């Protein structure tokens, strides 16, 4: 009798088991679409989160390096600002990632590591210049990345992070540009205003293009189409010490020609380096006010 009751109990358990298992399988099947949807959402925003994390890590580590190796006090202060601001942003991003189960990078990517090692070999003004050049470039890219994500991102928390961080990055970019200008000025690399003529026997059409004054005088002026439109007869200065080229326009063999003055730094050296380029046509030059010698100062040359 006991044996029959035991067998009946086992049979009853066997009959009850399949529905319970089926119910468990149904629950798992229902959960899978939700998990897949969550995973898909994470993948859409993963690229931004990863890029932001890598950029933040690099800014902190390079900022620490700047505090150690920069010569300029302004560059050291900028580095400290990067450590503080990006360190705080990194912590905020990490909290969001943990809530969403996102694994963010904890080390610099290869290209950032290579940059760090290259800057590590520099010091003094060389470091200051290279570091600030990198900071301007990085923050230009960061501002663009964060701006785009605020407009096209999907995850509300990450969008909120981007919107909160974007104004800080814009401030960083402005500060980086200002600091780089200070570094360049300290190194004597500031842009020379109206550097059309430097020294006794030099004329500069652009700051990077310096030619002898003898090469300028008598040179033909051609427009973008290669048409000759004038000839340079003289170089003079206005009351602000800006250099002008006196052009002879029109006429034939010096008869009936008109003289006009145009800023020398608005012209560019041609391929031949004996010609100067102008965007003006001959007709446009002829319509300009005629050159009046009394309004300009002669360019003094010895000999």
- Residue 87 CB contacts under 8 Å (≥ 6 apart), including other chains: 56, 60
Q: CA neighbours within 13 Å on the CB side: how many for 13?
A: 6
Chain segment 177-204, per-residue pLDDT in tens: 999 999 998 877 544 444 443 443 344 3
Task: State how far the Cα of 233 lies from the Cα of 145, in Å rounded to an integer.
Answer: 52
Q: What is the mean pLDDT of residues 208-226?
A: 65
The confidence score (pLDDT) of residue 232 equals 82
pTM for the full predicted model: 0.52
What is residue 252's three-state secondary structure? Answer: strand
The confidence score (pLDDT) of residue 287 equals 72
**Is-contact 135 115, C-beta < 8 A?**
no
Tokens representing 23 are: 């119910």
Domain architecture of the chain: domains with CATH: 2-186 (1.20.1260.10), 202-295 (2.30.30.240)
Tokens representing 209 are: 């293009």
Angle at 193 between CA 189 and CA 197, to 5 degrees: 100
What is residue 204's three-state secondary structure? Answer: strand
Average pLDDT over the chain reads: 75
Residue 87 confidence class, pLDDT cut points 50, 70, 90: very high
Can you tell me which residue has the tokens 């250099």? 243
Task: State how far the Cα of 216 lies from the Cα of 234, in Å rounded to an integer.
Answer: 8
Q: Range with the lowest mean pLDDT among 6-20, 46-60, 66-80?
A: 6-20
């Amino acid at each position: 009798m006991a044996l029959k009751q035991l067998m009946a109990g086992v049979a009853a358990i066997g009959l009850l088991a399949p529905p319970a298992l089926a119910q468990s399988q149904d629950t798992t099947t229902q959960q899978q679409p939700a998990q897949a949807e969550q995973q898909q959402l994470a993948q859409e925003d993963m690229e931004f989160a990863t890029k932001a994390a890598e950029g933040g890590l690099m800014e902190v580590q390079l900022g620490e390096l700047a505090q150690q190796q920069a010569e300029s006090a302004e560059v050291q202060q900028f580095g400290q600002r990067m450590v503080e601001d990006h360190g705080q942003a990194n912590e905020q991003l990490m909290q969001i990632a943990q809530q969403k189960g996102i694994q963010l990078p904890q080390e610099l990517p290869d290209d950032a590591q290579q940059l760090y090692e290259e800057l590590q070999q520099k010091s003094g003004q060389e470091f200051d210049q290279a570091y600030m050049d990198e900071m301007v470039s990085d923050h230009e890219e960061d501002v663009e990345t964060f701006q785009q994500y605020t407009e096209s991102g999907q995850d509300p928390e990450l969008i909120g992070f981007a919107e909160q961080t974007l104004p800080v990055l814009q401030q960083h970019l402005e500060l980086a540009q200002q600091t780089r200008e200070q570094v360049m000025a300290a190194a004597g690399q500031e842009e020379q205003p109206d550097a059309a003529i430097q020294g006794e026997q030099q004329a500069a059409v652009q700051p990077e293009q310096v030619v002898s004054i003898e090469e300028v005088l008598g040179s033909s002026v051609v427009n973008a189409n290669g048409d000759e439109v004038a000839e340079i007869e003289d170089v003079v200065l206005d009351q602000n010490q800006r250099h002008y080229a006196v052009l002879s326009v029109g006429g034939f063999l010096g008869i009936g020609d008109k003289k006009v003055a145009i800023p020398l730094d608005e012209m560019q050296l041609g391929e031949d380096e004996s010609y100067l380029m102008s965007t003006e046509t001959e007709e446009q030059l002829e319509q300009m006010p005629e050159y009046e010698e009394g309004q300009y100062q002669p360019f003094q040359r010895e000999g």
